[in-house]
Amino acid sequence: MTEKPDSYEVAVERLEQIIDRLDSGQAGLRETLDLCGEGRELVTYCAAELDAVGEGLKELKLDELATKLASSAEAGAT
Amino acid sequence: MELPGPFPVGRYAKTLRDELRKRARVQLIGEVTGLRQTPKQSYFELRDSEGAVPCTIWANELEQLKLPDGALRDGAEFVAGGGPDYFIGSQASSPGFSFRVTQLRLAGEGDLLARLDALRKQLQVEGLFELQPQLVRPLLPKAIGVVTAETGAARRDLLAGLERRGWRGTVVWAFAPVQDRHAAPAITDAIQGLAAQPQVEAIVVTRGGGSLADLWAFCDETLCRTVAMLRVPVISAVGHERDSTLIDDVAAVACSTPTHAAEAAVPLDCIAARGSLERSAGSLRRAAEGAVPTRTPHLVSLARGPARALRREQLALNQKTREIRAASERGITERLGFQRRLATVVLERARRRAVGPDMERRREALHRAAVALRAHQPERTLERGYALVEAGDGEPVTSADAAVAAERVRLRFADGSVGARIEERE
């Protein structure tokens, strides 16, 4: 895999295709090794998406979010 | 153009009052607000999200209606029957318009359902029910917005539902009143505020159950039109399963509880997904580790292929040889048998030929030959009176010289032999 998947859904779909192909036993040695490499990258990507925030569910009030965005926009402008 | 008049204002006020009183008497439905009661009259506004009308009712008329104690209060949904009126003012009080109420009752489910039904049909005709369901809801949003009351079970239930899915995203709360005439505009503002945040990928609007009057804010036309036109999917979880509000019709998904709303907002069960991801990683690891070892036996088998093929050919060849030898031996035996059978047939034919019609003639010829042969035998000659001279060793003595040399000879007659000595040659 050279490009980052567009979304978690796309990554999971491709991962399922890879597992199906490997399970079929029809992939040759080179293809198997390539698919394993691509699959590992997808697993890493999906795991990172699942842990997007990291520590757990985070709560924010709308006005806090708006303030945060405004201050980061100001910081960007300066 | 010059306007008519000027007219005395008092007369104009009376005319205005009379004209207004001619208007049809109707029933209005809305929320009571600003209630103020005096010994003579009660004043209040009947209001909904679009507007309001000032109402007055005479104290004695109100008393005759026998409303339950405390029923007429701010925030209550009422149906008021009457017509427009105009108070022309007095020395002590200012003039003013009001809706003169002569009938007043608490709004029932029927009134609200009739209003809801009309509004529902209107929005449906405009195609507003079809917009939100067409939006793509992300399987794993990073942030979701939630509009609900700051205090209440709905907030807690939704949060618990999200945590049960193992989701680690961000909840952006936009708290709003969920039950009074301020609710609908506040909820609309909150939804718009959340939709304006680029991080927010889905919005949940939720509150607990209640009567249709309690949930009436979620049937507000402006609120529902706003939701329908939003480009962010809205998940409604207002009331319980049997409480059908208009927001349920325009939202992308309508859920019966906040817990279900959590599942709709984050469609992916993250705990199950992590388990599945671990299994996928395991499959990949096994496939990678086994890629070479699983092929080794085949490679070895391929490497041994030529030798095995040779051995197989050798075995096949040996087998063929044995078969040929066996066949050959079987052929010889068969041929010998055949020849024996042939010889038997030939001999039989010869024998048959031999014992045919010539047999007697041959036998006679044989007899004749035997007679002729016997005539030549020395015994026959001896029978006729001749004698045979034999030396001591049995050899015939055929000359006089031989007889002299032998000195002793035997004379063989037909009936026996006698010895003789040669005395002299004559």
Q: B200 pairs with which residues across the strands?
A: B143
Q: Could you tell me if A52 lies within 8 Å of chain B, comparing CB atoms?
A: yes
Q: What is the pLDDT of residues B411-426, one digit of tens each?
A: 888 888 898 888 887 7
pLDDT score of B36: 94
A9 vs B contacts (CB less than 8 Å): 138-140
Q: Do B172 and A62 touch (CB under 8 A)?
A: yes
- Please report how many Cα atoms fall inside a 13 Å half-sphere around the Cα of residue B275, on the Cβ side: 6
pLDDT score of B200: 93
| Pairing assessment for the beta strands B253-254 and B200-207 based on DSSP bridges | unpaired
pLDDT score of A61: 82
Residue with tokens 């609908």: B184
Closest by alpha carbon to B225, among B256, B250, B197?
Answer: B250
Closest by alpha carbon to A1, among A31, A30, A36, A38?
Answer: A38
Whether ipTM > 0.95 holds is no
Q: Could you tell me if B149 lies within 8 Å of chain A, comparing CB atoms?
A: no
A52 vs B contacts (CB less than 8 Å): 140, 142, 168-169
Q: Do B197 and A62 touch (CB under 8 A)?
A: yes
Q: How confident is the model at residue A50 (pLDDT cuts 50, 70, 90)?
A: confident
pLDDT score of A53: 52
Nearest-CB residue to B287 (from A22, A58, A66): A22
Quick check: B206 and B158 in contact, CB under 8 A? yes
Quick check: B43 and B97 in contact, CB under 8 A? no
Q: B145 pairs with which residues across the strands?
A: B172, B203
Q: Could you tell me if A41 lies within 8 Å of chain B, comparing CB atoms?
A: no
Closest by alpha carbon to B275, among A8, A53, A50?
Answer: A50
Q: Do A53 and B168 touch (CB under 8 A)?
A: yes
Q: Could you tell me if B140 lies within 8 Å of chain A, comparing CB atoms?
A: yes
Residue with tokens 């109402």: B55
Residue with the larger pLDDT of the pair B13 and A65: B13
- Please report how many Cα atoms fall inside a 13 Å half-sphere around the Cα of residue B222, on the Cβ side: 16
CA B175, CA A63: separation in Å to the nearest integer? 10
Residue B215's identity, in one-letter code, is: L
CA B19, CA B216: separation in Å to the nearest integer? 35
Domain ranges in chain A are: 8-77
pLDDT score of B356: 60
pLDDT score of B136: 92
Q: Which two tokens stand for residue B7?
A: 């007219």
pLDDT score of A76: 66
All residue ranges of chain B with pLDDT < 50 are none
pLDDT score of B339: 84
Q: Could you tell me if A75 lies within 8 Å of chain B, comparing CB atoms?
A: no
Burial of B80 (0-12, 13-18, 19+ CB in 10 A): buried
Q: Do A69 and B197 touch (CB under 8 A)?
A: yes
Quick check: B204 and B171 in contact, CB under 8 A? no
